[in-house]
Each structure stands twice: as structure tokens, then as C-alpha cells.
Amino acid sequence: EFFYRVKARKQITILDTCHSGAAVDIYQRGVLAQEQAVRNLYRNIGVVVFAASSATESAYESFITKSGYFTFSLLYALSGDTMILSDQKTAMKLYGFTSNADYNRDGNILVSEVSQFLQEKVLSISSGDQTPQTFTQGLDFPLYTTNQNTTSLDETSQLIFTPPNGINFLQDIQYGTRYSTPNNGELYLFDYPPEVDIQGQVNQIVTGQPFQWEISVKVGNLNAIIKAYNYFQNQKNYALLTTTYSGTGVLLIIIVPSEEYQSAQSWIIPAITGVKIKK
């Protein structure tokens, strides 16, 4: 839950301690314990935890590098020998390190590539006594890039939301905000960066939910596509509305109990049209 409160789009935790894999186990149990609907709504693009060892293992240090096997391998994974001190180059050759973790040589060193590199190298140089662990949630992304064509994460729209009366802030979540609404409902407003497939996000939420209808309304100079679904959760029926705004990464989700849906009409459309995007 802590990660969902953090507004950073990509979050990395690095633990180079003995038994640090226990933290990975905790993160994994936390994700599994969440209901599917919450996981889908809160799904983020990049939460990563790198741990130096499993929950039952020690994390070892090298007298040659004067650093931990894990930290030495992580630095080399990202930078090759450019950040390796002169007195560590002997260890580099001894351990068989010849290149960084950019396995496909595309100029981007991805989380998955670093994870693979750490698994291979740390396990090897520790003679099998230390097994790095990685927890990831969301999409793969570069930890380091030399590719000048990579899209800046700051290239997002400017979102302004004016909620109708009765819609109140609850909490910041990954890429957005959660609100309470009248009629025992909830509203989620997301502003995804360009690299996120917004339709993919919607599909994850509505998969298996009966589709009801679709309409298009004009919001400023944008077309807002509203789709309605029946949503069943915890033995209860809900009305679920998703709204996407053409040419943007903005997604608005409204969930209200089915029996409250008609009464909620007074604020649903004002909420949808209360979204303004300055591009």
C-alpha cells in the first residue's frame, strides 16, 4: 500500500543485507492479498525491489572489491567498467565480468535484464551461496539508457479536475487520485504517461464484466468515450463506468452500487465533464 501512495512513476528499492529476500516475500504476499479489482485499479508501471539474497541466506562481501557481491554486480550491470575502481578491475576479470546487462545491445538496460544479470553473476561468484531476489509489479522499464530516442516521462498532459459537490478526496494512488462519491460510490481519476497502454488498463478492469452501453460526449475540445458495465464483487452488483478522453492518458472510473445508479445521475455527468486537460 505504501507504494501506491508514492507519486513517483517508477519506484526502486535496493536491499543489500543478509536475509533481505524476506522483504520480497512480504511484498509478494501483500500483492496476492489484495482483491483483483483493487490490483487492477491500482496497477502501476514500475515497482521494483532488488534484494541481495533469499530470506534464509547471508549477503557476502568480497575482500578484493571491498564491497558486497550484490552491490558490485549491480554497479557493473548498469555501467560496465566505467564505475569500477582501478583496484576492483582485478576482481572484474577474476569474476568473468565482460559487459553490462544490456543483453540485446539496444541502449536500454531494463529491470528484467538487471535481474537476470544479478541472478547469473551473484550466484556464480558466491559459489551458489547467495541468490538475489527480485520483486516487480507493472511493466518492464529501463534503469539506464543511452538511447536518445527514449520518450521523456515528463511529457504528460496537464490535468485539472473540478469535482461536483459531494465528491471528496480520499487518497493519492499510483498515477491518480481516489475519491468518495455520493450514493456509496467511488471515483478513480488516472493520468497515465505516454508509455502506458490505457486501453490495456481498461481491459484489465472490465474483463469478464458484462458490457451494457457506450456513448460519446464532448468535453471541451475532446471526445469522452463512456462505457458502462455490470460489475460483480463480494456478492454485490455495481454499475461501473469507464471514461477515456481522446488523445490523452486520462482515465476516469466510477463505481456505484447498482441500486444507487439512478440516483447518482445528478453527479456522474458533471464529474465526467469536470475533467479538463491542457495539452
Q: Are residues 162 and 140 in the same domain?
A: no
Q: Are residues 101 and 167 in the same domain?
A: no
Which of the residue ranges 91-95, 207-211, 271-275 has the most confident prediction, judged by mean pLDDT? 271-275
Q: Are residues 138 and 165 in the same domain?
A: no
Choose the weakest-confidence range: 25-29, 81-85, 239-243.
81-85
Last residue of a domain, one of 83, 115, 145: 145
**How far, in Å, CA of 209 to CA of 239, rounded?**
10
Asked if residue 150 has pLDDT above 50, the reply is no
Of residues 28 and 170, the one with the higher pLDDT is 170
Q: What is the DSSP letter of 151?
A: P
Q: Domain range holding 209?
A: 158-278
Tell me if 24 is assigned to some domain.
yes
The pLDDT score that the predictor gives to residue 38 is 45
Last residue of a domain, one of 113, 145, 177: 145
The pLDDT score that the predictor gives to residue 74 is 92
Tell me if 150 is assigned to some domain.
no
Q: Are residues 100 and 228 in the same domain?
A: no
Tell me if 73 is assigned to some domain.
yes
Nearest CA among 99, 101, 175, 104 for reference residue 139 = 175
The pLDDT score that the predictor gives to residue 42 is 45
Q: Are residues 204 and 82 in the same domain?
A: no
Read off the C-alpha cell for 4.
501506491
Asked if residue 28 has pLDDT above 80, the reply is no
Tell me if 225 is assigned to some domain.
yes
pLDDT above 70 covers a percentage of the chain that reads 79
What's the number of domains the chain is made of? Answer: 2
Q: Are residues 135 and 27 in the same domain?
A: yes
Asked if residue 234 has pLDDT above 50, the reply is yes
Q: Are residues 189 and 263 in the same domain?
A: yes
Confidence band for 154, pLDDT divided at 50, 70 and 90: very low
Asked if residue 84 has pLDDT above 90, the reply is no
Average pLDDT of the chain is: 82
Last residue of a domain, one of 93, 114, 145: 145
Which stretches does DSSP call E strand in the chain?
11-15, 46-51, 61-62, 67-68, 108-110, 133-138, 142-145, 158-161, 168-173, 176-181, 185-191, 211-219, 222-233, 236-245, 250-257, 275-278
Tell me if 83 is assigned to some domain.
yes
Nearest CA among 270, 201, 279, 278 for reference residue 242 = 201
| CA-CA-CA-CA dihedral for 32, 35, 38, 43, to nearest 10 | 30
Residue with cell 536500454: 108
Bridge partners, 54 (sequence order): none
Q: Are residues 8 and 131 in the same domain?
A: yes
Asked if residue 151 has pLDDT above 50, the reply is no
User: Which pTM was predicted?
Assistant: 0.54
Q: Are residues 77 and 15 in the same domain?
A: yes
Contact 202, 251 (CB under 8 A): yes
Residue 278: partners with Cβ closer than 8 Å, 6 or more residues away: 157, 158, 160
CATH number at residue 253: 3.40.1000.10
Q: Are residues 106 and 176 in the same domain?
A: no
Contact 11, 2 (CB under 8 A): no
Choose the weakest-confidence range: 18-22, 113-117, 230-234, 254-258.
230-234
Q: Are residues 176 and 119 in the same domain?
A: no
The pLDDT score that the predictor gives to residue 25 is 79
Model confidence pLDDT, tens digit, residues 87-132: 666 666 777 777 888 888 878 888 899 999 999 999 988 989 999 9
The pLDDT score that the predictor gives to residue 184 is 93
